[in-house]
């Protein structure tokens, strides 16, 4: 029986409450992915560079989110307006109609910072902290906001037409491509490649931290994908968000993740006869990246196929990048985020994978991917190119050998382990 009680519950505020309980919850989950990236990347670098990697992760968020508020939000609005001949409001972010507008901003910010932090994994172990932070300022203030201005915020590419549900290309593809570009410009770590062009493996210091980071990322990814599915981003905040396809997103995200692990593990095992732990972990992530742009409209079996392919390409693309491009992508961010993101954004253009009536154009997807990739490479190359020309991109040979923890931060991440007599009770570290 329906009883209507005389209390402060009107339909609009009920919808607002439900919507924002959800948006806030998933925003927090996506924020937590920074802990995931921090652990994943820390685990995959040498112990002498761990604190540096962790510092970069924390500064990515701290510097980036301030820039994205002070500059990025406005750039996004301007780009969206200018490229479609529409209106835009400068500084609207500083005095939204309702403070809920700031929740919407934060929901956008956690996606932006995900793209930003991906880059740090590619350039680990040899880039100057100030160079990395400088790039983060540009990425959060301009480079990423241009991407979202053109797309989700309603700019030219949105008018043209494309499908990227939760950022498989806009966030992950962009971050992975930026990372590869940055790694190419800063150059490989010392001894990563021999004079004859052959590659050396420089193992990370802790698979445990890397897997912990992976599982934190998978947790946060449910917020990323399923969160977006029921977020009221496209409508009026007082209308209830649509729960019509949230189940599809939950299922395809789950299956894509699982298939990615199996795809990567399978190919890696074919190559070496052993099930490489880091390929299983990164395969879960590649599978997730692969289905992030299309999770709302693919069938359950397409999630297995696309996730599986996104995982399977990981060991292959990683080797191609290493052997033929000679780029030292330390944490494999290009195969995990870049090529997997591109793959997913293209495969959704093939009708067999989608539910009836999805109507995604492969041609448009190609154009969309090309524009995002082109802009990202161009802008990233420009920032790091200038830094390189100024001699400000790379630490000295001595600092790299000593490790960036000591040289850039003055700390030893594990003073009691690994190296003798670096610290004793009461001694100076």
Q: Which of residues 225-264 bind its own copies (CB under 8 A)?
A: 226, 230, 238-241, 243-248, 250-251, 254-255, 257-259, 261-262
The verdict on 314 binding its own copies (CB under 8 A) reads no
Output the smallest distance, CB 325 to its own copies, in A.
19
Say if CB 338 and CB 376 are below 8 A apart: no
Provide DSSP, 57-117. Answer: HHHHHHHHHHHIIIIIHHHHHHHHHHTTT----TTGGGS-SSTHHHHHHHHHHHHHHHHHH
The verdict on 208 binding its own copies (CB under 8 A) reads yes
Question: Mask of contacts with its own copies, 63-82, x by CB under 8 A?
Answer: x-xx--x-------------
Backbone φ and ψ of 193, nearest 5°: -125, 140
The verdict on 209 binding its own copies (CB under 8 A) reads yes
Say if CB 205 and CB 377 are below 8 A apart: no
- Residue 162 or 209: which CB sits closer to its own copies? 209
Question: Mask of contacts with its own copies, 177-196, x by CB under 8 A?
Answer: ------------xxxx----
Backbone φ and ψ of 291, nearest 5°: -100, 0
- Residue 377 or 402: which CB sits closer to its own copies? 402
Q: Give CA–CA dist 287/281, Å, rounded.
A: 10
The verdict on 396 binding its own copies (CB under 8 A) reads no
Residue selected from 16, 83, 292, 293 as contacting its own copies according to rule CB under 8 A = 16
Residue 298 pairs with which residues in a beta bridge? 354
Residue count at the site for its own copies (CB under 8 A)?
136
The verdict on 98 binding its own copies (CB under 8 A) reads yes
The single residue listed with the structure tokens 């079996």 is 301
Residue selected from 31, 111, 132, 135 as contacting its own copies according to rule CB under 8 A = 31
For 204, the 3-state DSSP assignment is: coil
Residue selected from 100, 346, 377, 381 as contacting its own copies according to rule CB under 8 A = 100
The verdict on 429 binding its own copies (CB under 8 A) reads yes
Q: What is the dihedral of CA 350, 341, 365, 381, to 10 degrees?
A: -150
Output the smallest distance, CB 45 to its own copies, in A.
11
Q: How far apart are the first and last CA of the chain?
A: 70
Provide DSSP, 271-314. Answer: HHSS--HHHHHHHHHHHHHHHHTTTTTB-HHHHHHHHHHHHHHH
The verdict on 89 binding its own copies (CB under 8 A) reads no
Residue selected from 218, 312, 379, 387 as contacting its own copies according to rule CB under 8 A = 218
Query: Per CB under 8 A, which of residues 318..377 are in contact with its own copies?
Result: none
């Amino acid at each position: 029986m329906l009883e209507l009680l005389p209390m402060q519950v009107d339909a609009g505020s009920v919808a607002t409450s439900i919507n924002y309980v959800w948006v806030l919850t998933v925003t927090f989950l996506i924020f937590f992915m920074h802990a995931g990236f921090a652990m994943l990347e820390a685990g995959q670098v040498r112990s002498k560079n761990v604190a540096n990697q962790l510092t970069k992760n924390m500064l990515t968020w701290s510097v980036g989110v301030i820039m994205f508020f002070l500059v990025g939000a406005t750039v996004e609005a301007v780009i969206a307006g200018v490229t479609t001949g529409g209106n835009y409001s400068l500084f609207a972010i500083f005095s939204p109609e309702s403070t809920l507008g700031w929740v919407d901003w934060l929901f956008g910010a956690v996606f932006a910072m995900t793209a930003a932090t991906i880059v740090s994994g590619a350039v680990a172990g040899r880039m100057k902290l100030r160079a990395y932070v400088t790039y983060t300022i540009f990425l959060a203030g301009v480079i990423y906001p241009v991407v979202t201005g053109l797309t989700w915020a309603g700019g030219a590419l949105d008018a043209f037409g494309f499908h990227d549900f939760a950022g498989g290309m806009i966030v992950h593809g962009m971050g992975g491509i930026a990372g590869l570009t940055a790694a190419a410009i800063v150059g490989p770590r010392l001894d990563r490649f021999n004079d004859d062009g052959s590659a050396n493996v420089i193992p990370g210091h802790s698979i445990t931290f890397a897997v912990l980071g992976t599982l934190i990322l998978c947790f946060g990814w449910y917020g990323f994908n399923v969160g977006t599915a029921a977020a009221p981003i496209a409508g009026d905040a007082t209308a209830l968000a649509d729960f019509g396809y949230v189940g599809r997103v939950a299922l395809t995200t789950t299956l894509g993740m699982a298939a990615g692990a199996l795809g990567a593990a399978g190919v890696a095992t074919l190559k070496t006869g052993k099930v490489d732990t880091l390929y299983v972990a990164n395969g879960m992530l590649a599978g997730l990246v692969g289905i992030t742009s299309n999770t709302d409209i693919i069938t359950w079996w397409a999630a297995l196929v696309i996730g599986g392919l996104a995982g399977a390409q990981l060991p292959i693309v990683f080797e191609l990048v290493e052997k033929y491009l000679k780029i030292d992508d330390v944490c494999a961010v290009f195969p995990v985020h870049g090529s997997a993101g591109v793959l997913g954004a293209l495969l959704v253009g093939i009708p067999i994978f989608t539910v009836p009536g999805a109507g995604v154009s492969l041609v448009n997807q190609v154009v969309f991917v090309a524009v995002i990739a082109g802009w990202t490479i161009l802008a990233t190359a420009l920032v790091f190119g200038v830094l390189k020309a100024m001699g400000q991109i790379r630490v000295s040979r001595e600092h790299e050998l000593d490790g960036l923890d000591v040289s850039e931060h003055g700390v030893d991440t594990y003073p009691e382990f690994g190296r003798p007599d670096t610290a004793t009770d009461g001694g100076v570290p």
